[in-house]
Amino acid sequence: MRALFIIALLKLFAVFSLPTLHRIGAAIGTLLYFLPNKARMITTINIQHCFPNKSGDEQRQLIKSSLIETGKTFTENAAFWQWPLPMLTPLIHETPSTEQLKAAIHSSKGVILLVPHLGAWEIAGMYCAQLYPTTCLYRPPRMAALDGLIKRGRERMGLKPAPITQQGIRLLSRALKDHEWIGILPDQDPGENGGVYAPFFGHPANTMTLASRLAMKSDCAVFCVYAERLEKGHGYLLHCKTAPMELSTGTLEQSVSALNRMVEECVMQLPAQYQWSYKRFKNQPPGMPNLYRRSKAKLTPFSDR
């Protein structure tokens, strides 16, 4: 029932303009800030964990701004997954950094695109898929009823989804061998046995090794791509950052650390637009406490603790 309600809401939101969607999203985010809820709790813990040197007021402002951007992410996805492409492409504004992506089209090797949960990652993926055939790693949503809507929306954007299975990994490897592009969300916790710990904002974060292994094996170009959400629904600004050589040539531990460092540098450009409502530190090294344990749930944006 909850999934059907969300689908109905997304279909309703799709009739509105982007400025209106962002206003609705901002209102939702403001409610998330003032009312007790899971997203506020996780966002609070993550920001206090990653920005301990910020004052209480600075943390509260970042928490509020982050939740507002979270609300916009929800409402704008209604447009991304349902609007015709001719309505979406004019929303994307390039920066000089995107020229290196266009240059990579003429490369004799594939390209690995690292698209963190920063800004509008759906539109960033769509932009890349419009430039060149792109296969993206895809994790089905927890609500299975939403899977069809999301998958169709991404396929309509030109993205070829690859599930997070051995078959999906083979699809990514094959795409690279065919000199195509692949997209990976590099800041998802891969599970208890699926990654290695590397620093992220000064704390150990369980980090996937897939991107590093593919980069070291294929010796192809690696870029970090994100779409900055502009104010008042004025669209999105595409940014592209070349990955450090260490990601492709270092040891696995060095590569994973370089990946996290690159994502962190991008997040610092738009800290409010990062998905702080995700349990990025859910899995911790042995002996370290659970950051999101129940006692932490008492934290609120209105506390200086």
pLDDT of residue 2: 82
Distances from the Cα of 114 to the Cα of 50, 208, 272, 286, 300, angstroms: 21, 12, 19, 28, 32
pLDDT of residue 285: 93
Q: Phi/psi of residue 63, each to 5°?
A: -60, -45
- What residue segments make up the domains of the chain, in order of their start? 1-83, 86-273
Name the helix (H) or strand (E) containing 199: strand 195-200
Q: What is the mean pLDDT of each run of 10 residues along the chain (305 residues)?
A: 87 97 98 97 97 97 98 97 95 96 90 97 96 91 84 89 91 94 95 90 97 93 97 97 96 97 98 98 92 63 49
**Predicted local confidence at residue 92, as pLDDT:** 97
Q: HEC profile for 73-141?
A: HHHHHHHHHHCCHHHHHHHEECCHHHHHHHHHCCCCCCEEEECCCEECHHHHHHHHHHHCCEEEEECCC
Q: Please give the model's pTM, rounded to 2 decimal places.
A: 0.93
Residues 6+ positions from 53 with CB-CB distance below 8 Å: none
> What is the reported pLDDT for 304?
44
| Structural tokens at position 273 | 């637009």
Identity of residue 194: G
Quote the pLDDT of residue 305: 43
